Chains A and B, each alone.
Chain A
Amino acid sequence: MESLTENKKDRRKISWQMVGLAAGLLLSITIFIFVTLTISRLLEARSSKKPVPKAPEIKLQETEKTGWSGSQISPVHRIPLMDEFNQKIIPAASDSLPFSARNTCGPCHNYDQISQGTHFNFRLRPETDRPTEPWVLVDDKVGTQLPVSYQNYPGLWSPEKLGLSAWQFVNLFGRNLNGGGPGEPAEKEITPDSRWNVSGKLEINCLGCHNKSPLQDHSEWVKQVMRQNFRWAATAASGLGEVVGMASRLPSTWSVVDGPNPDDHEWAVAPQVKYNQSFFDSKNNAVLDLAHQPEDSRCLACHSVTPRKVQTKAAVERDVHSMAGLKCTDCHRNDLTHEMIRGFEGQKVSSSNLKAEDFTCAGCHLGQKPEKGGIGFAGLLGAPRPAHKGIPKIHFERLSCTTCHSGPLPEKEPQEVYTSRANRLGVFGKAHWTSEYPVILEPVFVREKDEKIYPERMMWPAFWAEKKGKDLVPVESQEILKTAPEVFQLKENVASLLNSLLPLAEEGFYPAVVISEYLFEPNADGGLDFRSLEKSPLVGKAGQGKFRLVQVRKDEVKPLLPAFNPEEAPAELEDKILRALQALKSQAGVKEPALEAGKFIYKITEGYLDKAEKGGEPAAEPEIGWLEEENLRPLLSDFQVRTLEKLNAGQEILTEEQVALVLEKLSRANPQKEFAYVAAGRVFSLGKDGKLKVSEHPAAKPISWPLAHNVRPAQQALGKNGCTDCHSPDSRVFFGKVEASSPLKTSWKEAKLQADWMKTGTLFQFLFGFTFLVRPAFKLLLAACLLLMGLILLVVVVRITGKISGIKDNGQKPESRR
Chain B
Amino acid sequence: MIFGITSFLLIVALNLRLTFGRYLRRLPEEKRKINSENFKGYIHWIVSWKKSFLKLERWDRCLDYLIAWGQKNYPGWTVWVFYALVLSYIYLALSGFIFAWFVPRGLYGFPLLLHVAAGALFAICLTIILFIKARVYLPEKVEEEASKESDYGFYCPLLHKSFPRLYLQAVAFWVFVLAGFLLVASTLGSMLPYFNFPAQIFFFHLHRWSALASVLAACLAIDVMIVE
Residue B116 lies at the interface, judged by CB distance under 8 Å to chain A:
yes
B127 touches A722 (CB 8 A): no
- Identify the closest chain A residue to B127 (Cβ): A785
Give chain B residues whose Cβ lies under 8 Å from the Cβ of A779.
188, 191-192
Give chain A residues whose Cβ lies under 8 Å from the Cβ of B196.
387-389
A786 touches B139 (CB 8 A): no
Give chain B residues whose Cβ lies under 8 Å from the Cβ of A810.
140
Residue A396 lies at the interface, judged by CB distance under 8 Å to chain B:
yes
Residue A764 lies at the interface, judged by CB distance under 8 Å to chain B:
yes
Give chain A residues whose Cβ lies under 8 Å from the Cβ of B190.
392
Q: Please pick, from A388, A789, A803, A811, the residue contacting B126 in the complex, using a CB distance under 8 A.
A: A789
B134 touches A796 (CB 8 A): yes
CA gap between A790 and B180 in the complex, in Å: 11
A789 touches B120 (CB 8 A): no
Distance of A764 from chain B, by nearest CB (Å): 6
Q: Please pick, from A451, A775, A789, A790, the residue contacting B191 in the complex, using a CB distance under 8 A.
A: A775
> In the complex, which residues 160-205 of chain B have their Cβ closer than 8 Å to any Cβ of chain A?
174, 177-178, 180-181, 184-185, 187-188, 190-197, 200-201, 204
- Identify the closest chain A residue to B108 (Cβ): A394
CA gap between A388 and B110 in the complex, in Å: 26
Residue A13 lies at the interface, judged by CB distance under 8 Å to chain B:
no
A789 touching B180 in the complex, CB below 8 Å, given contacts A781-B120, A796-B138: yes
Give chain B residues whose Cβ lies under 8 Å from the Cβ of A783.
188
CA gap between A694 and B196 in the complex, in Å: 51
A799 touching B123 in the complex, CB below 8 Å, given contacts A392-B200, A393-B204, A786-B185: no
CA gap between A185 and B110 in the complex, in Å: 56
A785 touches B184 (CB 8 A): yes
A396 touches B130 (CB 8 A): no
A785 touches B124 (CB 8 A): yes
> In the complex, which residues 786-818 of chain A have their Cβ closer than 8 Å to any Cβ of chain B?
786, 788-790, 792-793, 795-796, 799-800, 803, 810-811
- Identify the closest chain A residue to B123 (Cβ): A785
Give chain B residues whose Cβ lies under 8 Å from the Cβ of A811.
140
Q: Please pick, from A393, A781, A790, A793, the residue contacting B123 in the complex, using a CB distance under 8 A.
A: A781
Give chain B residues whose Cβ lies under 8 Å from the Cβ of A782.
120, 123, 184, 187-188
Give chain B residues whose Cβ lies under 8 Å from the Cβ of A764.
109-110, 113
Residue A26 lies at the interface, judged by CB distance under 8 Å to chain B:
no
Q: Please pick, from A388, A390, A792, A800, the residue contacting B131 in the complex, using a CB distance under 8 A.
A: A792
CA gap between A392 and B186 in the complex, in Å: 11
Distance of A84 from chain B, by nearest CB (Å): 56
Give chain B residues whose Cβ lies under 8 Å from the Cβ of A778.
116, 120, 191
A793 touches B181 (CB 8 A): yes
Interface size on A (CB < 8 Å)?
A: 38
A389 touches B195 (CB 8 A): yes
Residue A634 lies at the interface, judged by CB distance under 8 Å to chain B:
no
B200 touches A785 (CB 8 A): no
- Identify the closest chain B residue to A768 (Cβ): B113
Give chain B residues whose Cβ lies under 8 Å from the Cβ of A388.
196-197, 200
A786 touches B140 (CB 8 A): no
B138 touches A793 (CB 8 A): no
CA gap between A784 and B181 in the complex, in Å: 12
Residue A37 lies at the interface, judged by CB distance under 8 Å to chain B:
no
Residue A126 lies at the interface, judged by CB distance under 8 Å to chain B:
no
Per-residue contact bits, chain B 105-121, to A (CB 8 Å; 1 contact, 0 not): 11011100100110010
CA gap between A427 and B184 in the complex, in Å: 61
Give chain A residues whose Cβ lies under 8 Å from the Cβ of B108.
394
- Identify the closest chain A residue to B125 (Cβ): A785
Residue A478 lies at the interface, judged by CB distance under 8 Å to chain B:
no
Residue A761 lies at the interface, judged by CB distance under 8 Å to chain B:
yes
A390 touches B192 (CB 8 A): yes
Give chain A residues whose Cβ lies under 8 Å from the Cβ of B105.
451
A799 touches B130 (CB 8 A): no
Q: Please pick, from A451, A722, A790, A799, the residue contacting B181 in the complex, using a CB distance under 8 A.
A: A790
Q: How many A-B residue pairs have CB under 8 A?
A: 97
A391 touches B197 (CB 8 A): yes
Residue A28 lies at the interface, judged by CB distance under 8 Å to chain B:
no
A785 touches B126 (CB 8 A): yes
- Identify the closest chain B residue to A370 (Cβ): B198
Interface size on B (CB < 8 Å)?
A: 39
Give chain B residues whose Cβ lies under 8 Å from the Cβ of A390.
191-195
Distance of B104 from chain A, by nearest CB (Å): 10
Give chain A residues whose Cβ lies under 8 Å from the Cβ of B184.
782, 785-786, 789
A393 touching B116 in the complex, CB below 8 Å, given contacts A788-B131, A792-B134: no
Distance of A774 from chain B, by nearest CB (Å): 10
Per-residue contact bits, chain B 64-77, to A (CB 8 Å; 1 contact, 0 not): 00000000000000
CA gap between A778 and B191 in the complex, in Å: 10
Distance of A767 from chain B, by nearest CB (Å): 6
Residue A306 lies at the interface, judged by CB distance under 8 Å to chain B:
no
Residue A276 lies at the interface, judged by CB distance under 8 Å to chain B:
no
Distance of B107 from chain A, by nearest CB (Å): 10
CA gap between A788 and B138 in the complex, in Å: 16
Give chain A residues whose Cβ lies under 8 Å from the Cβ of B140.
799, 803, 810-811
Give chain A residues whose Cβ lies under 8 Å from the Cβ of B120.
778, 781-782
CA gap between A275 and B73 in the complex, in Å: 102
Distance of B125 from chain A, by nearest CB (Å): 9
A391 touches B131 (CB 8 A): no
- Identify the closest chain B residue to A388 (Cβ): B197
B197 touches A393 (CB 8 A): yes
CA gap between A390 and B192 in the complex, in Å: 5
Give chain A residues whose Cβ lies under 8 Å from the Cβ of B116.
771, 778
- Identify the closest chain A residue to B122 (Cβ): A785
> In the complex, which residues 379-401 of chain A have their Cβ closer than 8 Å to any Cβ of chain B?
386-394, 396
- Identify the closest chain B residue to A781 (Cβ): B120
Distance of A342 from chain B, by nearest CB (Å): 25
CA gap between A392 and B116 in the complex, in Å: 14
A803 touching B124 in the complex, CB below 8 Å, given contacts A390-B193, A789-B177, A793-B178: no
CA gap between A800 and B170 in the complex, in Å: 13
CA gap between A394 and B131 in the complex, in Å: 35
Give chain B residues whose Cβ lies under 8 Å from the Cβ of A792.
130-131, 134
Give chain B residues whose Cβ lies under 8 Å from the Cβ of A796.
134, 138-139, 174
Distance of A784 from chain B, by nearest CB (Å): 8
Give chain B residues whose Cβ lies under 8 Å from the Cβ of A789.
126-127, 130, 177, 180-181, 184
- Identify the closest chain A residue to B117 (Cβ): A771
Per-residue contact bits, chain A 482-511, to B (CB 8 Å; 1 contact, 0 not): 000000000000000000000000000000
Give chain A residues whose Cβ lies under 8 Å from the Cβ of B131.
788, 792
Give chain B residues whose Cβ lies under 8 Å from the Cβ of A793.
177-178, 181
Per-residue contact bits, chain B 92-114, to A (CB 8 Å; 1 contact, 0 not): 00000000000001101110010
A-B contact pairs, 28 of them (CB 8 A): A387-B197, A388-B200, A389-B193, A393-B197, A393-B201, A393-B204, A394-B106, A451-B105, A771-B116, A775-B191, A778-B116, A778-B191, A779-B188, A779-B191, A779-B192, A781-B123, A781-B124, A782-B188, A784-B127, A786-B188, A788-B130, A789-B127, A789-B177, A789-B180, A793-B178, A796-B134, A799-B139, A803-B139
| Beyond A389-B193, A786-B184, 15 additional pairs, beta carbon < 8 A | A388-B200, A389-B195, A390-B191, A771-B116, A775-B191, A779-B192, A781-B124, A785-B124, A785-B127, A786-B188, A788-B127, A789-B180, A792-B134, A793-B181, A796-B139
* 4 A-B pairs with least C-beta separation: A390-B193, A387-B196, A785-B123, A782-B188
